[in-house]
Structure 1
Amino acid sequence: MRAVMNAILNVVLPVFGIMLAGYLVGRARILGEDSGRALNGFVYYVALPALFFGSMADVPLARIFNWPLILSFGGGLLVTFLFSIAVALVFFRGRFGEVSMHGLTAIFSNTGYMGVPLLQIAFGQQGVLAAVITTVITAVVVIGIGVILLETDRHQGSAPRVIARNVSLGLAKNPLILSALAGILYSWSGLPLPQPVATFMELTGNAAAPAALFAIGLFMVGKSLTEGMREVVWISSLKLLVAPLVTAWLAYSVLGMQGVDAKAAIIQAALPTGALMFVLAQQYGVYVQRATSVILVSTVLSVLTLSALFVLLGVQ
């Protein structure tokens, strides 16, 4: 259990270290006022597309379709998302994009940066495969839904036909969607990635998480993160407690799963909100401050909730 605790701290503390570095640089005014937005643009248009394409192109499609794992993890996200949206419509009313981001931040797990090392330490190579599958679901499906919802919000007020056309055009030009689809098509072709291309994708994609976290630190300068704390704590509770509980129910009671896949699905659902929610929020100019607060609060609290979860699952 000590190894698990060390692993949790080893992935949580660097998250705060990078955000703190961004905050200190912002306070010192070392970079220009638009540096955060420029860095966010790099993540959205360069680093994340490289990460999405490289991840999808490098994984054979047959390995991705582990249906019990997909249904338990994806079903847990869907139920939590719909529940959070229903609550937001009653207690945290806002424009369509704000309500959508409320639901997205309640389900978007930090599967890549935190989930992969944690599952590798806990379960070895089988845990890594489960981490890859759940990361694909998070990156492609959740982000795809998020882009659709935020594009709809952007064009709200237009006629339904105009909204449908604009959303379709937005999806067709979205770098995250395009890169993921291109990666899937390349994986389907069965061709290996040329080594220079694979290295480029790996180097560029690896910059996504630290750049996004650094941009969060820059954004935090001069902002009050206590605003809307009731909503922030509620979303963090959904992310850290409700999502894994629903996933556990689906895995054990509905699908009859056992072993590593069931535990991996639950752990991935219980991870804190990932930094990509900040990137998405800032890109569309909606829910930026709340998304930042949820990332911070859920990451802090995850040290306790993940530790308790590992004990309950019997992970040594």
Structure 2
Amino acid sequence: MDAVVDVVLPVFAIMASGYAAGRFRVLGPGASEALNAFVYWFALPALLFHAMARVPVAEVLHLPFLAAFGGAFLATYLMGMAAGLLFARPNLAYQGLQGLAASFANTGYMGLPLYLTAYGAGGVLPAVVATVFNAAVAVALAIVVTEIGRSERSGARVARDAARAVLTNPLLLAPAAGLAWSAAGLGLPKPVATYLDLMGATAGPGALFAVGLFMVGKPLAGSLPELAWISLCKLVLQPLLAAWLAWRVFALEPEWAAAAVIMSALPTGALAFVVALRYGIYVAGTSTAILATTALSFVTLSVALALVG
């Protein structure tokens, strides 16, 4: 429980600081978008590249873990998209970001600190692998679905535009470049590593602060049934699916099975808000989902940690 409190309370505090800065007009009305752009183009790419460049490729490609964690993500993503049909939101771009809010775990900003607190630096690798999956696969899926949904074209031009959006996305290029760097066996010069550490350290606080800024003057909940469904998908159904896949289907080692469950039980990550704001679609819904699932994760994460040990 202490590990959950030590991580979740600071997350709330950073979002509350951003809200206070906007509420009392310390920062201008465009601050949320400007800060979000900084996180999207600079801070997160630095964090993701450095995380990948430091990890051996063989350790990242733990296929049974990726299948369990990724399978739970994909099923939950589809259930989140189904909310668009349940709550009369038929637009595919909207549904794509709705699915992301229901399934994108906060592995980078909460998972890594949680694992460091609960298991120490020696046990943090599963959180790194889950974070890489989120950046390289989860974000890519949401971008493709959103690009297809928002395009008025059809056929080959839609596919081309979606492929261009994915292949030029810094949140995908950065981990891919880091993986290639690691595979080449190249070390990072000390000044470069220090730069990446300093820049990457701003990603989590920056994204969470931007969420708080965006919430100023916005309702904290739009459709309560929609929010309840997304929270149920993220905090209950996703970790249950991960547990079934990890233990029953793939028979993972105990530490990796536990990681699949804990990483899946995390609340919605702030990167979902970064992507939503980038497209200007489902932004309020995503920020509300982050707030609600983070609050409820006090209970769900405590239960998950108690069950897996």
TM-score exceeds 0.5: yes
* Contact 2:83–2:226 (Cα < 8 Å) also in 1: no
Aligned AA (2:217) = G
Q: Does 1:148 align with 2:144?
A: yes
Task: Give 1:38's aligned residue.
Answer: 34
Structure 1-normalised TM-score?
0.93
Partner Cα separation in structure 2 for residue 174 and residue 204 of structure 1: 18
Matched residues in 2 for 1:15 and 1:178: separation? 27
Alpha-carbon shift at residue 205 of structure 1 (Å): 1.0
**In 1, are the aligned partners of 2:35 and 2:210 still within 8 Å (CA)?**
yes
Q: Which residue of 1 aligns with 2:241?
A: 246
Using the TM superposition, give the Cα deviation of residue 226 of structure 1 relative to its aligned residue in structure 2, in angstroms. Answer: 2.0
2:174 equivalent among 172, 179, 195: 179
Offset at residue 92 of structure 1 (A): 4.2
1:95 matched to 2:91? The reply is yes
1:241-266 deviations in Å (ceiling 9; x for gaps)? 00000010011111122411111110
Question: The residue matched to 1:106 in structure 2 has which SS?
Answer: helix
Question: Per the alignment, do residues 123 and 10 of structure 1 end up closer, same or farther by CA in structure 2, a change over 3 Å counting?
Answer: closer
**CA–CA separation in structure 1 for the residues paired with 2:77 and 2:106:** 16
Distance apart, 1:56 and its partner CA: 1.2
Offset at residue 57 of structure 1 (A): 1.4
C-alpha distance in 2, partners of 1:169/1:79?
26
The 5 A counterparts of 1:29-108 are 29-108=25-104
Give the whole-Å Cα distance in 1 for the aligned partners of 2:301 and 2:81. Answer: 25
Contact map agreement 2:40 2:171 (CA 8 A) in 1: yes
Which deviates further from its counterpart, 34-43 or 171-180? 171-180
Distance 1:171 1:299, change over 3 A: same
Q: State the number of aligned residues.
A: 309
CA contact (8 A) 2:207 2:274 kept: yes
Secondary structure of the residue aligned to 2:266 is coil
Aligned equivalents of 1:247 and 1:174: distance in 2?
28
Among all aligned residue pairs of Structure 1 and Structure 2, give the percentage whose two residues are the same amino acid.
46
Match of 1:266 in 2: 261
| CA shift for structure 1 position 215 | 0.8
Equivalent in the alignment of 1:210: 205
RMSD after superposition = 1.5
Specify the code of the residue in structure 1 equivalent to 2:251: G
User: Which letter maps to 1:227?
Assistant: G
Select the residue among 130, 133, 154 that pairs with 2:129: 133
Q: CA deviation at 1:290?
A: 0.3
One-letter code of the match for 1:150? T
Name the counterpart of 1:301.
Answer: 296
Superposition deviation, residue 126 in structure 1: 5.1
TM-score (norm 2): 0.95
The answer to whether the aligner puts 1:222 opposite 2:208 as a matched pair is no
For residues 48-87 of structure 1, the C-alpha deviation after alignment (integer angstroms, 9 at most, x for no partner) is 1111111111111011111221111111111222233234
Equivalent pair of 2:68/2:245 in contact (CA under 8 Å):
yes
> Are the aligned partners of 2:3 and 2:118 in contact in 1 as well (CA < 8 Å)?
no
Structure 1 residue 276 and structure 2 residue 271: aligned?
A: yes
97, 104, 110: which one pairs with 2:106?
110
Unmatched tracts of structure 1, length 5 or more: none
Letter in 1 for 2:257: A
Shift of the alpha carbon at 1:169? 2.2
CA contact (8 A) 2:15 2:212 kept: yes
Match of 1:285 in 2: 280
- Code of the residue aligned with 1:166 in structure 2: it is D
Q: Which runs of 4+ in 1 moved over 3 A?
A: 120-126
